[in-house]
Amino acid sequence: MSANTQDAQEYLVEVQTTTQETVVTPLDINVVTPLDNTSSKNVSGEKKKIVGVFYKGNEYAKLNPDFVGCVEGALGIRQWLESQGHQYIVTDDKEGPDSELERNLYDAHVIISTPFHPAYVTAERIKKAKNLELLLTAGIGSDHIDLKAAAAAGITVAEVTGSNVVSVAEDELMRILILIRNFLPGYHQSVNGEWNVAGIAHRAYDLEGKTVGTVGAGRIGKLLLQRLKPFNCNLLYFDRIRMDLGLEKEIGAKFEEDLDAMLPKCDVIVINTPLTEQTRGLFDKDKISKCKKGVLIVNNARGAIMDTQAVADACSNGHVAGYSGDVWFPQPAPKDHPWRYMPNHAMTPHVSGTTIDAQLRYAAGVKDMLDRHFRGEDFPEQNYIVKEGQLASQYR
C-alpha cells in the first residue's frame, strides 16, 4: 500500500483556516474510504442506480493503483456499491442525445461528475431524470449543473469541499513563477536544441517585491496567499467577505474593497472566485483594460469568468504579458480555441485539482456522502451546494 493510500484510509481531510495558521485536520466522521471495500448497511434497503462520469485513463490507468479519478479507477467504489446491490454505471460518454449518460438519465438516482470532465446537467436533463435524488461533484465546483433547476426539482447537490484546495493553490504558485520567470521559452529552447539567453532574460523578473492580488480569498485564495508570504510580495485580496483580521495580519495581506481599484496595483492577478451569475464574463475587455499594462494573470477557477476573446486580444497586443491556467470554456476545449494560439500563455488541460493525493481525498469524500445518503443522514454542512431547494450563499 502506498503512503498516499494509507493517508486516505486514515483521514478525509478538510483544510481549516484559523487565526494562527492553515492546518490539515481529520474530519470528525467515520470514513469509509474508496480503497476499503467493507460493506456498510443500507438502511432503506432500496437499490440505487449510480452513474459516474469521469475521464478515461486509457494506457495510464494501470500505471498507478491510486489513480482512482478515471473511468477505469471509478473512484475505487465499484465493489463497495455492487456488494450492496446498487448498480454503478461509469462512462466518459456524456455529450449528445445518444451518449451513455443520456441513455442512463431516465432511471438514475445519483450522478457523480468531476470538474475535469464535467457532465453538464442541464435543466432539460434534470427534467428527464425522474428518479434523480443526488448530484455529487468529485472535487470542487458545481457550475456544470443548473443549480436553480436542481433546487426547483428538490435534488440535492454536493461537492467534496476542501478536497483539492492544496493541489490547486500549489499549482497557482507554480504558474505565477512560470510566467514571471519567463520559463516556457527556455524550456522550448532546450527541447529544440537552441541557446538564446536574451530571448528569455529580456522579460524575466523576480517575484520578490511584486504586487500579487487574488480575486477571491476563500480556501484556495488563503492558501495561495500563505504560500506567497515567504517570497516577500505585496499581497492584496478582494472578496465579498473579509478574512479574519488575525489571519490577515499573519499573512500580511491587505483587503481591497473595490476590485477596480485593486487591479491597476497588481503585477500578478490570480482568479480564485467561483463561477456564478455575478462572475460569469467578469473579466471582459473593460475590466482587463483596468489592469496594469504588462500584468500576468493566473486562472485556475473557471474559464467562463474570463471573456475568451478579450483575453486573447490582450495577450496579442501586450496589455496582458502572460496568461496561465487550466480552466477553459467549454471543456474539453476545442482545437480552435483562441487561447491555444495566443502569445505568452502557459495553458494546460484541467489538471490542477486532480493530483493523485486530491483524487484519494475526493474519492473518499464521495464514498462518505453516498454512505450517508443510503443511511438517510446529512452530509457535512459545508459540502452542500443545493439543500432542500436552497442554493449555497455564494451561488445566490
Query: What residues act catalytically?
Result: 164, 302, 331, 350
Supply the DSSP symbol for 344: T
- Specify binding-site residues for substrate: 140, 164
- Specify binding-site residues for NAD(+): 219-220, 239, 274-278, 300, 326, 350-353
Radius of gyration of the chain (CA): 22
- 126: three-class secondary structure by DSSP: helix
8 A C-beta contact, residue 297 and residue 319: no
Grid coordinates of 280: 460569469
Q: Give the whole-angstrom CA distance, residue 394 versus residue 380.
A: 17
Q: Give the whole-angstrom CA distance, residue 16 versus residue 191.
A: 42
Q: Give the whole-angstrom CA distance, residue 317 versus residue 314.
A: 5
Number of other residues whose CB lies within 10 A of the CB of residue 130: 11
Grid coordinates of 305: 469568468
Q: Give the whole-angstrom CA distance, residue 172 versus residue 214.
A: 11
Cα distances (Å, whole numbers) of residue 363 to 78, 135, 290, 377: 12, 14, 41, 19
- Specify binding-site residues: 140, 164, 219-220, 239, 274-278, 300, 326, 350-353
Q: Write out the DSSP string of 216-275.
A: --SHHHHHHHHHHGGGT-EEEEE-SSPPPHHHHHHHTEEE-S-HHHHGGG-SEEEE----
8 A C-beta contact, residue 338 and residue 312: yes
HEC per residue, 27-81: CCCCCCCCCCCCCCCCCCCCCCEEEEECECCHHHCCCCCCCCCECCCHHHCHHHH
